């Protein structure tokens, strides 16, 4: 039977729960990394002969990871305030995950030059945090398992709440750069475990 009181583990369990929730609702956005199905604003201070000139004509070409051209030599807009040329890639062109390559051709003062850059598209707009997510997963399952081991209702329910957050986050955002059948399956399993355990704990609590 589960105990109704948390005892000396109360502070630790609440601390772990809020840590887990904070981890998954904290935004970590790396430079040149953007979220899938959202528009991408590309800005560059373009110089020819070391000088920025509003009369510089800049055209951009963007290729998806499979090398398909989604933006074909489109003119960029000059922003006099930031002294940058910019082009916004529509959200409809950022559905493919991976590394996008784009080239900017600048023409001015009788000169012509082209440079190539890249940006990343990930499910959540984050990258390089896979180990971080695995830690949060271990903490979530560990908190629930610790509550079951101690037969403590409060700790167990905190663990299942953390798993609910975890499952919903992964379902919508994937894990780091991954969002596929595996991440979807893991999120469904996690939500199922959280639902089953919380239901069983609630039944035992009500039957006490």
Judged against a pLDDT cut of 50, whether residue 5 lies above it is answered with no
Quick check: helix, strand or coil at residue 78? strand
The model's confidence at residue 1, banded by pLDDT at 50, 70 and 90, is very low
Structure-block tokens of residue 46: 């373009």
Looking at residue 6, its pLDDT comes to 45
82 vs 30, residue with greater confidence: 82
What are 107-138's pLDDT values in tens digits?
887 778 899 999 999 887 777 667 777 888 88
pLDDT mean over 140-145? 87
Supply the pLDDT for residue 165. Answer: 85
pLDDT digits (tens, 9 = 90+) for 31-66: 688 989 999 999 998 877 666 667 889 999 999 999
Task: Give the mean pLDDT of the chain.
Answer: 82
Residue pointed to by tokens 């430079």? 31
Distance, in Å, from the CA atom of 164 to the CA atom of 146, rounded to the nearest integer, reads: 17
Q: Alpha helix (H) ranges present in the chain?
A: 10-24, 130-150, 153-173, 181-207
Lookup: tokens for 141 = 């399952």
Question: Please, which pLDDT band fits residue 197 given cuts at 50, 70 and 90?
Answer: very high
Contact 108, 56 (CB under 8 A): yes
Phi-psi label, residue 67: left if phi above 0, alpha if psi -120 to 50, beta otherwise: left
Quick one: pLDDT at residue 122? 87
Would you tell me the crossing angle of helices 130-150 and 10-24 to the nearest 10 degrees? 150
| Per-residue confidence (pLDDT) for residue 51, from 0 to 100 | 65
Assess whether pLDDT exceeds 70 at residue 98: yes
């Amino acid at each position: 039977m589960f105990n109704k009181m948390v005892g000396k583990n109360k502070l630790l369990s609440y601390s772990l729960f809020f840590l887990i929730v904070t981890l998954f609702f904290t935004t970590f956005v790396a430079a040149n990394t953007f979220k899938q199905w959202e528009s991408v604003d590309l800005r560059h201070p373009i110089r020819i002969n070391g000088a920025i000139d509003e009369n510089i004509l800049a055209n951009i070409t963007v290729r998806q990871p499979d090398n398909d051209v989604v933006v074909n030599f489109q003119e960029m807009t000059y922003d006099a305030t930031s002294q940058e040329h910019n082009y916004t890639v529509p959200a409809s062109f950022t559905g493919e995950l991976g590394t996008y390559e784009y080239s900017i051709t600048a023409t001015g003062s009788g000169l012509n030059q082209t440079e190539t850059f890249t940006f990343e598209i990930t499910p959540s707009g984050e990258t390089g945090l896979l180990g971080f997510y695995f830690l949060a997963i271990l903490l979530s399952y560990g908190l629930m398992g610790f509550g079951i081991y101690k037969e403590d209702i409060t700790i167990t329910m905190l663990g299942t709440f953390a798993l609910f957050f975890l499952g919903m986050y992964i379902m919508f955002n994937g894990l780091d750069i991954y969002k596929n059948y595996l991440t979807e399956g893991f999120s469904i399993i996690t939500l199922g475990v959280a639902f089953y355990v919380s239901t069983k704990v609630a039944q035992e609590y009500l039957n006490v």
